[in-house]
Structure 1
Amino acid sequence: MQLKIKSKIFFTGFFLVTVIIAELYLRSNSAILSSSEAIRLNDPLVHHDYNPGVTFITQMDKNNELPPVINKINSFGIRGPEISKKKARRVLLLGDSFIQADEVDFKDTFSEKLNNHFDGKLEFIAHGIGSWSPTTEFSWLCHKGIELFPDEVNIFLCANDFYRENVYSMSDVSYQRQALYEGDVPIGYKVNIAEGQNSLFAKIKKTLKKIHIIRWIHERLKLIIFKITYRIFHKEQIVSDLADEVVLFSRDAALWPEDLQDSVDSTVEVIYNIKHFLEQ
């Protein structure tokens, strides 16, 4: 009986010590072990964006040989060092995950390579967020990008910006539907951040997330569940739908379904509206 009690005490003590050590380790590395919720925030002005001042690691999957990359977001909310006073013609580059390039060292991003090439004669500032499209980029431009006093703005497009919403849920028409407008300018989004924040459940959830080991476990479980459900229920259908959309784009526009033509036309109109906004 005493042996069982001693065993329980030993294993309980061992478990607690292990948890405490893990918690201390995660806290000591919290600057670069941020959860996805800490890295990116829902923003009623631009839909979603980086949380200013965070630092995080992007780790590629096991099939990719690229090393982990440390990403540092400055106080303005974009990757890289703090933005200095404008000294040369400034070019702003906006896009999605291709411009975000968080899998690549900052010095190896194409904007930094351009800065090195022009050696101060031109200044390039890039900002991209995964799943952004022209509408969200327009919102960021009018709320934040314009504060950088760019002399030139380049919007980088991806084919999925023009897809129909029923094929790709993060196409531009989806953001157009969620946006709140002032004239032709998308000044905000129907992102209800405050909903449920004062409930008991929300307060408990917020408190638990301050415990780093719980937050770490929560993030890993979410990723595992996503991968399982994606593979079981969605992968084949998503791949099939996207493949069909690509085939449609390869055909003459006269053969496109009406809803695809509408999606393309409305997204092109957003690009024209960005041009008009910058010319004002």
Structure 2
Amino acid sequence: MIHMKTKQVKILKIFFSVFYCLIGAEIFLRIIAPVPILPRRVCAASYGIRGNKPNQTYWQRTPETTVKLKTNSKGIRADREIPYEKPVGVYRIVLLGDSFGMGYEVDYNDMFSTRLEWHLRESYQINAEVINLSTSGHGTAEELIVLQNEGLRYHPDIVLVQWHSTDYQDNIRSDLYGLKDGALYVKNETYLPAVKIRETLEKLFFYVWVEENSQFYTFFREFAAVKAKALLDSLRSTRVRPNTVNQNNNESKEDYSTQLSVALLDKIKAVCSDRKIEFMILDIPRPRGSKEFYSVFPFEPDQLNGRYYLYSPIDDFKKANGQKIFWEKGHGHLTPLGCDIVGKGLAEYVVKNALLK
């Protein structure tokens, strides 16, 4: 009996020690080193990749902002249901992107997709509707799949792909497509990283609250995600393109990621061209301080030679004279000002190039 009580006391001591350590870590992060809390509500889409979980309402909190995200029954971040059938007299733009496209860290009315729609309507009297099919974490490979399985069902007049520097590695990591003798081919039908784990955790009644409110959980999750991505990148790099890349040559690996990304963009363009849909790209640049920005898109503007319609907001960002374009204490997404500059610039580009005929 005494031995059993001693064992129970030890267990209780361990439990409370762990509990107080967790509480201490939570308090430390909240007061000394707050981390941005940006939960991701994704699930397995019917076509084998991640999609936004339908009918969700949740919050993102950073030291700089607090925003509410809401998805409709199709998982689109929107304030309404959007039918597949296009209304008469309406031009449609389908947006494919990642967390930038989905408007992380800004309210719905401040997203660049919302501002694009507003500027087309108010500044140019064009009855346009933007269908935002962005999902956090998507690369060009997943955007191609979304277009083929979902985007075309909305009968778009323009397909707008939001490009970011992370696309290079995302396209390698997903392992959905590869190149053989320069030609794009399907390698795998599915890519659902950690979706099963997420679905299991979401069955726990307290998980959603912890995900939206705990600094320590967010810190641990982000740390684990970085390590998992690094491990997956390492595994992918040992399996790719024996006929194309010398695996001991980092420059060759970078060349392959560029070639793959360009091939995916060309494929999206071909899908659009076959259906007489205009195709354009938004290049989200990287900040270097508050006044300088740079692009890592595969081509310089003078190298495009009509290959793509490409809008880069770098020149427009510079006109902001150091005002905050990207959040600095979150995950580096666009601020409301940055989003409005992008939305306005996109609208001007669309009209200037007569992409909505």
Q: One fold, TM greater than 0.5? A: yes
Maintained 8 Å contact 1:52/1:73: yes
Q: Within 5 Å, which residues of 2 pair with 1:245-260? A: 257-260=251-254
Mapping for residues 1-280 of structure 1, pairs under 5 Å: 36=39, 39-43=41-45, 45-60=47-62, 62=63, 64=64, 66=65, 68-80=66-78, 81-84=80-83, 86-87=86-87, 88-119=90-121, 121-163=127-169, 171-175=170-174, 177-178=175-176, 184=185, 188-191=189-192, 210=203, 212-213=205-206, 216-217=209-210, 220=214, 222-226=217-221, 257-280=251-274
* Structure 2 counterpart SS, 1:257: helix
Higher fraction of helix: 1
Query: TM-score, normalized by length of structure 2?
Result: 0.48
Match in the other structure for 2:354: none
For residues 224 and 116 of structure 2, the distance between their equivalents in structure 1, rounded to whole angstroms, comes to: 41
Deviation at 1:222, TM superposition (A): 3.8
- The whole-number CA distance in structure 2 between the counterparts of 1:127 and 1:186 is 23
What is the deviation of 1:54?
1.1
Displacement, 1:147? 1.0
Displacement of 1:55 after TM fit?
Answer: 1.2
The RMSD of aligned alpha carbons is: 3.9
TM-score with structure 1 setting the length: 0.60
What are the superposed Cα offsets for residues 197-242 of structure 1, whole Å, 9 maximum, x if unpaired? Answer: 9xxxxxxx95x855533653577464243466789x89xx99xxxx
Q: Is the 8 A contact 2:97 2:163 kept in 1?
A: yes
Give unmatched runs, 5+ long, in structure 1.
1-34, 164-170, 198-204, 239-254
Match of 1:22 in 2: none
* Structure 2, unpaired ranges of 5+: 1-37, 179-183, 232-248, 275-357
- Aligned-partner residue type, residue 73 of structure 2: S
Aligned length: 204
Shift of 1:187: 8.2
User: How has the CA–CA distance of structure 1 residues 192 and 105 changed in structure 2, closer, same or farther, with 3 Å as cutoff?
Assistant: closer
2-structure distance, mates of 1:74, 1:186: 32
d(CA) in 1 for partners of 2:74, 2:132? 12
Q: Distance in 2 between matches of 1:187 and 1:132?
A: 16
Q: What's the CA shift for 1:121?
A: 2.0
**Structure 2: how far apart are the matches of 1:218 and 1:123?**
33
The letter for the 2-side match of 1:173 is: I
Following the alignment from structure 1 to structure 2, what is the Cα–Cα distance between the partners of residues 188 and 230?
A: 23
CA distance in structure 2 between the partners assigned to 1:113 and 1:142 by the alignment: 26
> With CA pairs under 8 Å and 6+ residues apart, which has the higher RCO, 1 or 2?
2
